[in-house]
Amino acid sequence: MNTCLGIELGSTRIKAVSIDGSFRPVSSGDYTWASRFEDGVWTYPLEEVWTGLRAAVSKVEDRESIAAMGVSAMMHGYLAFDEDWELLTPFRTWQNTMTGPAAAELTERFGFNIPQRWSIAHLYQAVLNGEEHVPRIAHITTLAGYVHHMLTGVDAVGVGEASGMFPIDSAALDYDAGMLARFDALPKVKDLPWKLRDLLPEVLAAGRPAGTLTESGAALLGGLLPPGIPFAPAEGDAGTGMTATNAVAPRT
């Protein structure tokens, strides 16, 4: 029997759940964690991501039958990396309310509501603050996007997850091109050594192939799963929550 493995990094628990072809749960494991308030920022240490994932996956009893898998996690927030994927500043979670000026300015310039928790608000606030790491950014992503990249080598997220990073053009199923151009033209942004689109992960629709578990990714999981397992695009907890509660079923 082939099964599929879902990994979810929530605010209080990291979960790993396998399901069969009829979408019935087969086996599961979890790990309890909590955010920390350090230097004025709500954060999680990325080292604990891997401790928690190994603990959760180790409790899944049907690991030898996993035929596909995917990652979801708490949405929004800010993870900024250099070109070698070295973290430039501690993970800033959705819980932080430090991006008010950036969110307000972007909302006005875009004519589109930008909440404080969105990744673009965190990035622009770092620009407004003149933070040292900003010129060295090569990648920004979410927690799900980070885990997906580390496991597969693919810098991509699902369209639902991407919609908590930057506004999406629902016809193109990609970031809104006009708003990308407006962001790059902002006075405090235009002279930076990057364009926003180059920092953001690729957007993938549901059902698109999103890479396979690499040897280095399998090693991060402690060898609990073999390389080669195909992945779905990484998603956020809004989509997984709606699916789990049947809020996306017909007539709901």
Report how far residue 141's alpha carbon sits from residue 165's, in angstroms, rounded to the nearest whole number: 8
Report how far residue 115's alpha carbon sits from residue 103's, in angstroms, rounded to the nearest whole number: 6
HSE value, Cβ hemisphere, 13 Å, CA-based, for 206: 8
pLDDT of residue 71: 97
Spell out the SS3 assignment of the chain. CCEEEEEEECCCEEEEEEECCCCCEEEEEEEECCCEEECCEEECCHHHHHHHHHHHHHCCCCHHHEEEEEEEECCCCEEEECCCCCECCCCECCCCCCCHHHHHHHHHHHCCCCCCCCHHHHHHHHHHHCCCCHHHCCEEECHHHHHHHHHHCCCEEEHHHHCCCCCEECCCCEECHHHHHHHHCCCCCCCCCCCHHHHCCEEECCCCCCCECCHHHHHHCCCCCCCCCEECCCEEHHHHHHHHCCCCCCCC
pLDDT of residue 242: 79
Mean pLDDT per block of 10 residues along the chain (252 residues) reads 94 96 95 95 96 98 97 95 97 94 98 96 98 98 98 97 96 96 97 97 95 98 98 89 79 76
Nearest to 9 by CA among 112, 148, 129: 148
| DSSP-derived pairing of the beta strands 235-236 and 66-73 | parallel
- Joined together, the tokens standing for residue 159 give 């369209």
Under 8 Å between Cβ of 31 and 55: yes
Under 8 Å between Cβ of 26 and 20: yes
Under 8 Å between Cβ of 194 and 184: no
pLDDT of residue 188: 96
CATH number for the domain whose boundaries are 3-244 = 3.30.420.40
Under 8 Å between Cβ of 122 and 99: yes
Nearest to 123 by CA among 179, 182, 200: 200
Report how far residue 23's alpha carbon sits from residue 149's, in angstroms, rounded to the nearest whole number: 26
pTM metric for this prediction: 0.94
